[in-house]
Chains A and B, each alone.
Chain A
Amino acid sequence: MDRRLLTTLYAWLLVLPAMVLLVAFTHYPTVATFWASFFSTARGRRPANFLGLDHYRRMITDDPVFLQVVWNNFLYALVTIPLSIGIALLMALWVNERLAGRGFLRMAYFTPTVLPMVAAANIWLFFYTPGFGLLNQIIALFGGPEVNFLGSPETALWSVMAVSVWKEAGFFMIFYLAALQSIPPSLKEAAKLEGASDFHFVRRIVLPLLMPTTLFVLVNAVIGAFRVVDHIVAMTGGGPSNASSLLLFYIYETGFKFWDTSYAAALTVVLLAVLITVSVLQVTVLDKRIHYR
């Protein structure tokens, strides 16, 4: 009896440091955010009052910018996630082969990941500049018209998507590369003996074995698509007219430019709900179809 109590106490003491940090910096802020979203923002000269669900009603009926940033964010996720994962996989398969300059190639693919997002965004800012920017100089070489990539609503969002794909793909490649190297060579030999083509081998053996990695990468990519907005700040500021604004950027604007912290809290609750839903779906639905060794 005493012994069991002691063991329990011991266990609790072991998890205590982690618990304290989690509660203080994750659980408490989450609950406080949820609670704050039901009140109006207090100003020095006017106190907060209870609004109930008004903030949530306002998002749907009264805030076209919210609807636009949600749509932008879904489009952003829908395009950048499959694209960066696809490119990561191709790059990983490519640099997993024995070829000359393999180390250099791996490094080249991984370099964008090492750069801070703001630095990467500034490089791309130069690429996109109308007139003397790199891309426009290339277009001019072929006699094409000048394109204002970040300055027109048709191209702004796609331009920031390209930066994100360029930056994320190298990061995901590393995970795929690690997973590829853990596939035993005997499988490849066996497949060869059976006369399977390279394509068949990748489709039937490599891809299924990579599924756990794909799930991990996918979860990270989804979170990243809703979480990383540094390049928006550096490149477009969400413009023109919110054409390249994303949900988190809008939350930042609402909270730290407009100082409407409680509406920002309500928006954060929406972001949290989206992320939790997507993660749960991924883990429950996809997990059943994944073969773990």
Chain B
Amino acid sequence: MALIAAAPAARAELELTLNFPVAVGGPITAIIDEYAKTYSEQTEGVTILPVYTGSYQDTITRTVTAFKGGNPPDMAVLLAVDTFTLYDEDMIVAISDLAQSDEEKAWLASFYPAFLENGSIDGQLWGVPFQRSTPVLYWNKEAFAAAGLDPEVPPATWEEQVEFGKQLTLKDSAGNVTQYGVQIPTSGFPYWLFQGLTTQNDVILMNQDGNEVNFDDPKVVEALEYLVALSKEHGVMAPDIIEWGTTPQDFFQGRTAMMWTTTGNLTNVRNNAPFEFGVAMLPAHVRRGAPTGGGNLFILHSDPEREQASLDFIRWLTTPENQADWSIKTGYVATSPAAWETPAMQEYASEFPPATVARDQLEFAVAELSTHENQRVTKVFNDGLQAAITGAAEPAAALATAQEEAMRILAPYR
């Protein structure tokens, strides 16, 4: 019996592991489990084993450690900005090397170009966009109406943001602010939203090779001065560091009438805001602009058979239909125009128009700040931004220090 059962299996069952950055037990795990199950059932000889590895930070820690220990997963979803880190550790396979057939090349060309920028090094593509997002502006329509503003018109420029903000900022009899005009969170990784401001001021923070940064450019200083002035000069934003985690809560409770945060919060806001809200592109200045964000799918070095099988799974996972399904269920931005053409996505977009704002903003989006030694360089930049925001240093001085330190860190890569 055993012999007969074993005989037809010409090749061994391939078990491919996928490190996925989400805490165990959330609604996301159910979705990923479903994808893995469906694919494993319809593909002979391949089983996908998702491993849930906590936050992005936990996931890269586990993936790098596992790699150094000689037991890496086959695939991982990691921040697109960590591509340089994975490349420098020689952990990942170039997707563009694996994808050689015409069909595969057409697949790679199908994504929004803005989402491919962070995955490209040396003219090769190293990551496939999957769990991607971009920051947008959410506004409270009821608060706008109460302040005498048109509830359907969000601020379109930096000046309007300040002007609207002043009308929206309310104080109690003791002079304490009860409602701020706008909130741009600055804890942990302030650089991301700040990059919205720099892009709008028409300046790019790093070069394509990821070994030079541009932190002390006068236009970057100007953008930081604007951010600092929002609280220090105009009083339309709370002073000091604003927590990312509590920002949606502040919005729900009417502590702020507008907030900048990721599209990843769309479903959360939709379910929890006790008032009518709107979603808009970030206000423009010299130009419109925002960074992209979120995670890419990476394939780690193993043997050609496993790498090819991983690529096949990733291609399946990013078919227009699956992208649409993923986007509708999570709020992440579907990463190719074809996904937005699917019937499911069209229906979703007409039923919930805010979902399309992020897509429309992609036209103006740039690569997220990413360099060699990425986390260290980003940290230096974050420290500079926080020093200016808390008033510990002047914007120009804080950015000059960050520039000097970042260039020192990047010196070995030039």
Contacts and interface: CB of A to CB of B under 8 A. Distances in A.
A150 B188 contact: no
B124 to A, nearest CB: 14
A131 B379 CA distance: 28
A255 to B, nearest CB: 9
A257 B243 contact: no
A129 B243 contact: yes
A242 B88 contact: no
Interface stretch (A29-37, A101-109, A233-241, A278-286): A233-241
A4 to B, nearest CB: 45
A44 B386 contact: no
Q: Give the dominant DSSP class at A's interface.
A: loop
Q: How large is the interface on B (under 10, 10 to 19, 20 to 34, 35 or more residues)?
A: 35 or more
A146 B57 contact: no
B390 A152 contact: yes
A148 B375 contact: no
A36 to B, nearest CB: 13
B386 A241 contact: yes
B17 interface: no
Given A129-B246, A148-B238, A241-B390, A256 B383 contact: no
Interface in A63-114: 65
B177 interface: yes
Interface in B53-67: 57, 61, 64
A31 B300 CA distance: 32
A292 to B, nearest CB: 46
B163 to A, nearest CB: 24
Given A153-B392, A239-B187, A241-B390, A258 B239 contact: no
A148 B240 contact: yes
Contacts of B412: 46
A241 B176 contact: no
Contacts of B383: 65, 241-242
B255 interface: yes
Interface string B188-199: 100000000000
B253 A131 contact: yes
A237 B188 contact: yes
B233 interface: no
Contacts of B61: 256
A181 to B, nearest CB: 44
B387 interface: yes
Contacts of B241: 148, 150-152, 239-240
A258 B390 contact: no
A240 B90 CA distance: 33
A257 B379 contact: yes
A185 interface: no
Given A150-B241, A239-B187, A241-B387, A259 B89 contact: yes
A201 B135 CA distance: 66
B89 A43 contact: yes
B250 A151 contact: no
B329 interface: no
28 contacts: A43-B88, A43-B89, A43-B90, A44-B88, A44-B90, A44-B91, A62-B408, A131-B238, A131-B253, A148-B239, A151-B390, A152-B241, A152-B390, A153-B390, A239-B188, A240-B187, A241-B383, A241-B390, A241-B392, A253-B379, A256-B61, A257-B57, A257-B375, A258-B375, A258-B376, A258-B379, A259-B85, A259-B375
A260 interface: yes
Residue among B90, B379, B389, B408 facing the most chain A CB atoms (10 A cut-off): B379
Interface in B370-394: 373, 375-376, 379, 382-384, 386-387, 389-390, 392
B174 interface: yes
B176 A240 contact: no
A50 interface: no
Given A146-B176, A148-B238, A237 B187 contact: yes
Contact of A44 (B89, B255, B379, B382): B89
Contact of A151 (B187, B255, B408): B187
A151 B391 CA distance: 12
Interface in B248-284: 249-250, 253, 255
A146 B383 CA distance: 24
**A-B pairs, 6 with minimum CB distance:** A44-B90, A151-B241, A240-B386, A151-B240, A44-B89, A152-B240
B255 A132 contact: yes
Interface string B13-47: 00000000000000000000000000000000000
Interface string B221-256: 000000000000000001111110010011001010
B235 to A, nearest CB: 13
Contacts of B408: 62
Interface string A131-147: 11000000010010110
B174 A258 contact: no
Given A45-B90, A146-B177, 12 more contacts: A45-B87, A131-B238, A131-B250, A132-B253, A140-B176, A150-B241, A151-B242, A152-B241, A237-B187, A239-B188, A242-B383, A260-B376
Contacts of A152: 239-241, 390
Contacts of A212: none
Interface in A199-244: 237, 239-242
A16 B182 CA distance: 65
A145 B175 CA distance: 9
A239 B383 CA distance: 8
A276 B384 CA distance: 34
